[in-house]
Structure 1
């Protein structure tokens, strides 16, 4: 376990995510980012667990970056990589494939441009100073990056 695995989300994130998840399910968006609701079965409970995430698009492919490596949703996706993603009343079954650091690095370069709120979290957690593309790209291997693939 490295240092970034021990970084925990701030105390207020889970309650804020509950509110944001509810708003998203009602079609209400906050800010310029296009967030969706990701639902995966809990690895321990087996119950559906949902969290808002903001996919980014690189070279025609969708990705999700976990700004908190120890987040429960990350462990749940690793245990069961087939999940659902709800966006504007449409639900899609997807497979999330975790990238190796060499694959993740070029995706992370676009993270700040497409998900500025994610870079704010990285700054607050001390993982980056200014949040430049070089700083974020250097987190490859520390931040989980998942490619979103359709379930066939």
Structure 2
């Protein structure tokens, strides 16, 4: 398999899985957002059971986006299998929404904005690319980072 064909995924470490994500998700479910955090709930592709994970919800130019800094994560796979159906949780609020994947060629402005907002938290997953990188540098790493636009509320 060629390097470009390999699926990119950076598995979270034990601390992230068992401590950090639980803390962020707990605060978010209590209604305290940490830098735009929300809890994404999507049906598991194998079990059919709801799966929850904290995510950074990016508001950019009137749209809302989910970016997978770690690549082809479980939530990405589940969201694809669920045909984009998801719930976004914040405090007591639950919003049933749908999302669709953004094409690699259209990701640059979204990834620039995402990195501008969360570079300190997720920059290590972007191979030295930052918010100040050129569109060409962003285009190079774009296929590794799935991006979903959340459809507006009806």
Specify if TM > 0.5: yes
Residue 20 of structure 1, CA deviation: 1.6
What do the CA deviations read for 1:39-73 (whole angstroms, capped 9, x no partner)?
A: 00100011100011111122100111101113111
1:113 match:
116
2:11 and 2:5 map into 1 onto residues whose CA distance is 13
**RMSD after superposition:** 2.2
1:90 aligned partner: 93
Residue 145 of structure 1, CA deviation: 0.5
| Equivalenced residues, count | 146
8 Å Cα contact 2:68/2:146 also seen in 1: yes
Whole-Å separation in 1 of the counterparts to 2:104 and 2:45? 24
Deviation per CA, 1:81-131: give whole Å up to 9, x if none: 1000012321111112111111112211111222234xx4341x4x32263
Unmatched tracts of structure 1, length 5 or more? none
Deviation, structure 1 residue 23 = 1.8
More helix by share: 2
Task: Report the Cα distance in structure 2 between the residues aligned to 1:28 and 1:55, rounded to whole angstroms.
Answer: 14
Summarize the Cα distance change of 1:121–1:3 in structure 2 as closer, same or farther, 3 Å threshold: farther
Instruction: Point out 4+ residue stretches in structure 1 off by more than 6 angstroms.
Output: none
> Take 1:109 and 1:130, find their aligned partners in 2: how far apart are those partners?
9
Residue 133 (structure 1) aligned with residue 136 (structure 2): no
Query: Which segments of 5 or more consecutive residues in structure 2 lack a partner in the other structure?
Result: none
Rounded to whole Å, the distance in 2 between the matches of 1:52 and 1:137 is: 24
Partner of 1:21: 25
Aligned pairs for 1:41-80 within 5 A = 41-80=43-82
Q: TM-score, normalised on structure 2? A: 0.82
Instruction: State the partner residue of 1:102.
Output: 105
